Amino acid sequence: MSEVVQPASLALAVSRPKTAPFDWRRAVPLLLAAPLLIYMLVFYALPVVAMLLRSVNDPTWTLANYATLFDDVVFQKTFWITLNTSVIVTLGCLILGYPVAMGLVRSKTMAPFILVIILLPFWTSVLVRSYAWMVLLGRHGLVNEALMALGMIDRPIRILNTTLATQIAMIHILLPYMILPIANALRQIDPSLIRAASGLGSTPFMTFRQVILPLSMSGVAAGTLLTFVLALGFYITPAMVGGPRDITLSMLIAQQVDQLNWAYAATLSAILLATALAILAVARKLPGVGNAFRTSMR
């Protein structure tokens, strides 16, 4: 399986017999990608490495920055809040997204409409969407006005700048990342399997549980991973609509950078990056998931 994901350059090196003269035609894909690769190296990879190095060499070579994290209450609380928010947001996306993905795949006439509904916010800036949520959830926002009009509450309740607001807004923003991989997996299920299940005596609910759900698990895994990893690094939305005590890891990093506390910010960044990579690495080892992740990202 691993050879599938090897970049062209690696595949080239592995498959070329040592004795054969170098075939320039096989280097063409690499040459075509070269400008971008150089660009990424200079403007992305090198700065990231330089920044991460600051966590161990500022001012001298030391692992002290990491060691102090073990008794750093602020860090631990922040890390916990970040993980907690990510889990809740991911679950929310899954519960709300799965039925939408099914609707998207099942309905021939409604599919383009549903797809536009999903993708329209997807194409809008996160900043704009977070502002929209501020308007909606504010003291005199649409949600409060509606609840009061319905007589469910007497005076405006505090939604904006709470943990709930962060979760609502993040679920909304991350839903497409959950729906699209699941829809992709559902679309790949051979319709004759569903007919076969029905013909063999399975009610629609049993067919869902025994055939559709297990066969869509690859999409669920991919969507969950994608949503979770993106949620880990969320900054704008929690900063704008979240509660004052709901500091996520990315907010803490921003704060430290503001205070020119580069070494600490770099340490936190390294932790965030390591967490995301660790989750991806573990998930790829799960049977079927790595494969599904790649197919859904095509």
Residues that bind other proteins (CB under 8 A): 190, 192-193, 195-204, 206, 210-211, 214-215
Give the separation between CA 186 and CA 219, rounded to whole angstroms.
Answer: 8
Q: How far is the CB of 257 from other proteins (least distance, A)?
A: 48
Task: Enter the DSSP assignment of 109.
Answer: T
Q: How far is the CB of 94 from other proteins (least distance, A)?
A: 20
Q: How far is the CB of 75 from other proteins (least distance, A)?
A: 42
Nearest CB to other proteins, comparing residues 116 and 213: 213
Q: How far is the CB of 178 from other proteins (least distance, A)?
A: 21
Q: How far is the CB of 194 from other proteins (least distance, A)?
A: 9
Nearest CB to other proteins, comparing residues 2 and 192: 192
Nearest CB to other proteins, comparing residues 59 and 287: 287
Range 159-162, long-range pairs (CB < 8 A, 24+ positions)? 160/134, 160/241, 161/241, 161/242, 161/243, 161/244, 162/242, 162/243, 162/246
Torsion sign (Cα): 5, 7, 12, 18: negative
Q: Does residue 219 contact residue 296 with C-beta atoms inside 8 Å?
A: yes
Give the separation between CA 78 and CA 238, rounded to whole angstroms.
Answer: 12
Nearest CB to other proteins, comparing residues 47 and 214: 214
Nearest CB to other proteins, comparing residues 202 and 291: 202
Give the separation between CA 280 and CA 184, rounded to whole angstroms.
Answer: 20
Q: How far is the CB of 138 from other proteins (least distance, A)?
A: 47
Nearest CB to other proteins, comparing residues 105 and 197: 197
Torsion sign (Cα): 210, 212, 215, 219: negative
Nearest CB to other proteins, comparing residues 148 and 189: 189
Which residue stretches of the chain are H helix? Answer: 2-5, 8-15, 28-40, 46-57, 64-68, 73-106, 111-122, 126-137, 142-149, 163-187, 191-199, 204-207, 213-232, 236-241, 249-258, 262-285, 289-296
Nearest CB to other proteins, comparing residues 198 and 295: 198
Q: What is the CA radius of gyration of the chain?
A: 24
Q: How far is the CB of 195 from other proteins (least distance, A)?
A: 5
One-letter amino acid at 160 equals L
* Neighbouring C-beta atoms of residue 159, cutoff 10 Å: 19
Q: How far is the CB of 188 from other proteins (least distance, A)?
A: 10
Give the separation between CA 75 and CA 86, rounded to whole angstroms.
Answer: 16
